[in-house]
Structure 1
Amino acid sequence: MPTAVQEAHAAHTTTGPGTVRVGDMTLGEGPPAVIGGAPGGADATSRPMGRWLSLRGHHGARDARRALTEERARWRGPLLVEPFSAADLPAIGDLADGVIVGAAWMQDFRLVRAAARLGLPMVVQRGPGATAQEWLAIVDYCAAEGNDRVVLCECGDRTRGAEHALNLGLMRAVRARSGRPVLVHLGTDAGLAGAAVAAGADGVLLAPEAGEETVAAAVEATALAAAVTVPTARRAAPRTVADARAQIDRVDAALAVLLERRAELAGVVQRLKPVGGFAGRDMERERRLVAAMARRAPRLGEARLARIMNAVIEAGLELAEQDRRRGTGR
């Protein structure tokens, strides 16, 4: 008989292709997820979307049901749990929203199959040195148990310094090949959060002990990367006018971020140039800029891009002049 958590999950798993629902968090569409880390913070926009708990570090000495009950008292949102052994699975099935197959257990096929039979969403971490084929084979094991709600998670390979080097290229290739959501495990360092999302990740996994500042940094970096890169990196063909307009809205949002940043940098140039403003325009450089852009956007061509960039440059110059007069140049 399914548990209350499993019934609630089953009632809320109607998502589009390539998406997986974990509690009220959808992986594979919408904003990139930040999972793990401290749940505190006054600003809800800087909090993680989900939490995860690992029972592996206790080597079976900690009672899984008690640990999950304590975690549930602290966190009401989506909760994923990494078991130490199959003995932890009944408690996970009763109290968690998803199960994590840790990198160390990726090829423990009995544990993978037993976890899949819970019917909960699964996050499968790539084991050190595992190939794309070996990683994706775990998806087949889960499917054989009737569970197709699988999310992949890149954890990196061990280096000589005992650190883990993330393979974002492999992550991107596996996402394209499988069509499944992919996370990237960052540990306690949010420094690569933006790069992970820019490479195609649907979210990042932070260590449970990651502090509030790390979580806030990851949330900010993933949101910015998603706004700027995802609308252009993922070119899903729209099937309706509404879909097309929604994609246009996302591209426009990315344009707004980029235009604001360009204007900011142009303002710096105006302050540093001997002759700034409209009188200091370098028309030859602008022509080279347009020609280079035309090579990246051949359908628009140089003539159209010249008109667009002239408007962009003039708007930046006007803003720089306005800031100069107000004494607010940055």
Structure 2
Amino acid sequence: MTSTLERHMVTIGGLRVGHGPAVVIGGRVSLRPHRGQVDAREALGERATLVEPYSAADLPAIAALADAVVVGATWTRDIPLVRAAAGLGLPVVVERRPSASVEEWVGLAGYCAAEGNDQVVLCEGGRLDLGVLRAARAASGRPVLADVSRDPGLAAAAVAAGADGLVVAGPGGTGGSGGSGGSGGSGASGRADEAADVRAAEEAVTLVGALLRPESPATLAECREAIDRVDAALATLLERRAALAGVVQRLKPVGGFAGRDLARERALVARMATRAPQLGEERLAAVMNAVIEAGLHLAEERARR
């Protein structure tokens, strides 16, 4: 298994994939639906983040207008096209063919490296197999993306499984591995759906990432950004705790401050201290007392309404 220190980091459109927090990448576009009948520059129109070619004829336009080239799941066996794509010098996003093993998937990245391009990111899409995603990340040392365009509801699970980033199809994009259709809808409705999908992905990388993804910020700005993510997760959990505490107040025979169970609170703090030994029971007791009192005040305010 590749250690964290040996892991690759690839920059795509200014986003560092594989280092620090997980990222959200929008704007995956496939030229396959055009089947080579439309000029690639015309089809793209403007700069895109991830672009999958239909054939080698599309590669010059991709070199000029894309931040990364996608080796789509439907043409991973076209080794000459894989090598030509790697030869562009752009980061290469290698999707997994649904029937491909981890060894085949990782091996395909080797063809790109053989062309002198080691800026390779693996991408799991379609019907996400999160176990395969996790295994490929551990075995290859390369960053791994999860394309959640088809099912944004899997964003949190993908981050929990170790995805270094989430791909959400942009306007006119094609979501999933070799799939067809964008992220749903057209016009204002489609744009609203896309915006909602991006927000869901951003929430996943912020909240789940803060809980499960280790970070080693190297600068003051990176450290503050990491703290902001942890604070966002804390706020979400505190809000949920307050809601549950309100239910407890309605169920207890004696509610409010008079119904506090100090022995239970001490036991709670002791259990928390096993997860946060550096803070210890004394500091955690002060924190939890403030949290409990805030929840009780909120419950009383709601009872008076």
Same fold (TM over 0.5): yes
Distance 2:203 2:148 in 1: 17
Q: Which residue of 2 aligns with 1:69?
A: 42
Q: Which residue of 1 aligns with 2:113?
A: 143
Consecutive unaligned residues in structure 2, runs of 5 or more: 1-6, 170-174, 176-180, 185-190
Answer whether contact 1:20 1:149 (CA < 8 A) is retained: yes
Distance 2:66 2:11 in 1: 13
Distance 1:241 1:101 in 2: 36
- Per the TM alignment, residue 120 of structure 1 is displaced from its structure 2 partner at its CA by 1.5
Is 1:277 the counterpart of 2:259? The answer is: no
Alignment counterpart, residue 23 of structure 1, candidates 13, 36, 45: 13
Change in 2 beyond 3 A, CA 1:107/1:276: farther
- Per the TM alignment, residue 168 of structure 1 is displaced from its structure 2 partner at its CA by 1.5
Change in 2 beyond 3 A, CA 1:221/1:271: farther
Q: Deviations over 1:250-277 (max 9, x none)?
A: 4334323322332233234334544322
Answer whether contact 1:22 1:78 (CA < 8 A) is retained: no
Q: Which residue of 2 aligns with 1:56?
A: 32
Change in 2 beyond 3 A, CA 1:248/1:88: closer
- Per the TM alignment, residue 246 of structure 1 is displaced from its structure 2 partner at its CA by 5.1
Distance 1:308 1:317 in 2: 14
Q: Deviations over 1:85-128 (max 9, x none)?
A: 32332332233332111112223322211100011121111111
Which one-letter code corresponds to 1:200 in the other structure? G
Alignment counterpart, residue 65 of structure 2, candidates 95, 101, 106: 95
Q: Which residue of 1 aligns with 2:166?
A: 203
TM norm structure 2: 0.77
Distance 1:77 1:281 in 2: 59
Is 1:227 the counterpart of 2:190? The answer is: no
Alignment of 1:58-207 (within 5 A): 58=34, 60-65=35-40, 68-72=41-45, 76=46, 78-155=48-125, 164=127, 166-201=128-163, 202-206=165-169, 207=175
Question: RMSD of the TM alignment (CA)?
Answer: 3.0
- Per the TM alignment, residue 303 of structure 1 is displaced from its structure 2 partner at its CA by 4.9
Distance 1:187 1:245 in 2: 30
Change in 2 beyond 3 A, CA 1:30/1:311: same
Change in 2 beyond 3 A, CA 1:307/1:182: same
Q: Deviations over 1:176-206 (max 9, x none)?
A: 4444332212343221122222333211334
Answer whether contact 1:193 1:218 (CA < 8 A) is retained: no
TM norm structure 1: 0.72
Distance 1:83 1:20 in 2: 20
Answer whether contact 2:22 2:159 (CA < 8 A) is retained: no
Distance 1:304 1:128 in 2: 50
Consecutive unaligned residues in structure 1, runs of 5 or more: 1-16, 36-50, 157-163
Distance 2:299 2:8 in 1: 44
Which one-letter code corresponds to 1:63 in the other structure? V
Distance 1:23 1:187 in 2: 19
- Per the TM alignment, residue 210 of structure 1 is displaced from its structure 2 partner at its CA by 1.1
Q: Percent same amino acid among aligned pairs?
A: 56
Which one-letter code corresponds to 2:287 in the other structure? I
Answer whether contact 2:73 2:97 (CA < 8 A) is retained: yes
Distance 1:123 1:34 in 2: 12
Answer whether contact 2:25 2:168 (CA < 8 A) is retained: yes
Distance 1:81 1:239 in 2: 31
Q: Which residue of 2 aligns with 1:216?
A: 195
Change in 2 beyond 3 A, CA 1:179/1:318: farther
Distance 2:226 2:149 in 1: 32
- Secondary structure of the corresponding residue to residue 188 of structure 1: coil
Q: Deviations over 1:43-101 (max 9, x none)?
A: xxxxxxxx12223344x352342xx42432xxx45332212232332332233332111
Change in 2 beyond 3 A, CA 1:200/1:62: same
